Structures are given as structure tokens and as C-alpha cells.
Amino acid sequence: MISPPLFGYHNDNEFSRYHQQQQQRRRRPQQQQQQQQQRQSSRNHNERLVQLQDGRVVTEEHYLRMKAHYEKQEHQQFQRQRRFELERRQKEKQQQHQRLQHQHEIENNRASYNRRSIDEEETRRRRRRQFQQQMELETEEEEKSNEYESEENVNELRTLRGGNGRLYYVKDPLYGRQQQQQQQQRNQQQQQKQQNQQLYDKDDDNELDDSFILEDASDSEYENEEYNSPWRNRRPSPGKWIEPVESYVVAA
């Protein structure tokens, strides 16, 4: 490249050559653009044109690129929808499985509760029957012991005639021993009854729907009047004389 002289041209040839180079440099981009347009026009002339639905006219190559891009987007959208559908179905299956499992647990709990209720009811009924039978047995034993004691009470005082010809009631010496044995039996029965009652009270399921009241034989009128009366407590010890039938006479 020849630069322009700093202090003028030496001759006309140098001036003309410089300006020719400048003109060529200015015309070069225009020539390149014209060549590109010619090549594009020749290419467009050789390629097929396609008219789109919106009215645009594009080359077949551009149409194929657009079609490939559209098919790619459509395939990606289909893959996304398919993935979302699979996730939705899997989530529904998990929720259904959880619902079935929860329902199965509820049914199992209800069945176990029903079985436990039936077992508890059977246990309460069995204990109630046992308690009633025990109370009946104790009542029968108390009645028998009361009958036995009432029969013995008749013979507990022997009738004797004194030297003055009067009748006296004398207490049988064996009565104290019999009374002690009977008292021990009553104490044992009372302890057994208290133990049974404590065992029955400790049970949390001993609430009866149809409540009933049982009378204890030891608290009857016979017990209160005969065995706990002041007249019984002031009786003398066995072998001593007590009030006679007709009048009180001190034995000689």
C-alpha cells in the first residue's frame, strides 16, 4: 500500500496511482456485496420455494429446518406430558395404597377391639358367676352354721335340780371349747370373704350392668341379737351357776 506523500506528489503518476488504489478500496465492499447477492439469487433460483399456511414463502431448506425444530419441540412436549402422566399415575397408586392400608388398619383395630370386648365381657360374666356361686356357698355355710349353733344353744344350758328341790340352769363346760371353735371358723370365713371381696374390687372390669345386693349372713338380725347382745357378754364362764328358773338361789 502506497501512502500519500507528506509534502506533495513528485509527479502525476504517483498521484494517479494513489487515487486508483483509493477508488479500488472503496469499490471492494460493493463488489463483495454484489457477489453475495448474485450467489444468493443463483441459489434461490436453483432451490425450491415453499408457501406456508400464514402466506409466507420460504425456501425448502428453511422450511425443513423449521419443520425439524417444530418436531423437536413437539417430541419434547410429548416426553414431558408422558413423564407428568407417569408421575401422576404413580402418585395416585401410592395414595390408593395408603388409603387401602389405612382402611385395613382401621378394620384390624375394630376387629381386635370387638374381640377384646367380647373376651372382657366373658371374663366379667365368668367372674360374676364365680362370685355369685361363692356368695351362695358362703350363705349356705352361714345358714348351716347358724342352724347348728341354734340347735346347740338349746342344749348349751343343762337343767339340774338342786338339793333344795329347785331347778337350775347350768352352763355346759364344753360350751366354751365349742364356742371357741365356732368363733375361729367364723373368723376364717370372714377373712376369706374379705379376700374374695378385695380380689373382686381390684378388678377394673367388675362393674356390673345389672347391680344386685347380697345380704351377709354375719350381719343378720340373728347375729346382732344373739351373739352381740349384752346378755351374752355378761354370762358367766363355763361351770358356774347362773340365774335359776324360779328364783335366784346361791348354790351352797
Q: What is the DSSP letter of 223?
A: I
- Shared domain for 150 and 160, answered yes or no, is no
- Across 118-136, b (16+ Cβ under 10 Å) vs e yields eeeeeebeebbeebeeebe
Chain centre distance of CA 44: 81
Residue with cell 413423564: 83
Phi first, then psi: give them for residue 171, nearest 5 degrees.
-75, 140
Give the chain's radius of gyration (CA, Å). Answer: 64
Q: How far apart are alpha carbons 85 and 77 in whole angstroms?
A: 12
Note the pLDDT tens digit of each residue in 34-78. Answer: 777 766 665 655 667 878 788 888 888 888 888 899 999 999 999
Q: What is the structure's pLDDT at 156? A: 61
- Shared domain for 150 and 89, answered yes or no, is yes
Provide block-wise average pLDDT over 10 residues at a time, the chain (252 residues): 49 62 71 71 66 82 88 93 94 93 92 91 90 83 64 58 67 66 82 77 54 45 51 53 49 46
In a domain, residue 208? The reply is: no
Element (H, E) at 157: strand 157-161
| Contact between residue 148 and residue 155 where contact means Cβ atoms under 8 Å apart | no
- Shared domain for 133 and 180, answered yes or no, is no
186: Cα within 13 Å, side-chain hemisphere: 19
- Closest to 251 measured CA to CA, from 160, 174, 172: 160
In a domain, residue 189? The reply is: yes
- Shared domain for 180 and 84, answered yes or no, is no
Q: How far apart are alpha carbons 26 and 31 in whole angstroms?
A: 9
Q: What is the structure's pLDDT at 75? A: 93
In a domain, residue 215? The reply is: no
SS3 state at 204? coil
- Shared domain for 83 and 140, answered yes or no, is yes
| Dihedral over alpha carbons 54, 58, 62, 67 (to 10 degrees) | 30
Q: How far apart are alpha carbons 231 and 248 in whole angstroms?
A: 16
In a domain, residue 212? The reply is: no
Q: The domain containing residue 63 runs over which residues?
A: 51-155
Which ranges of the chain does DSSP label H, i.e. alpha helix? 12-46, 60-155, 174-202, 221-222, 230-233
Q: How far apart are alpha carbons 18 and 13 in whole angstroms?
A: 9
- Shared domain for 37 and 103, answered yes or no, is no
Q: What is the structure's pLDDT at 147? A: 59
Q: What is the structure's pLDDT at 51? A: 81
In a domain, residue 174? The reply is: yes
In a domain, residue 210? The reply is: no
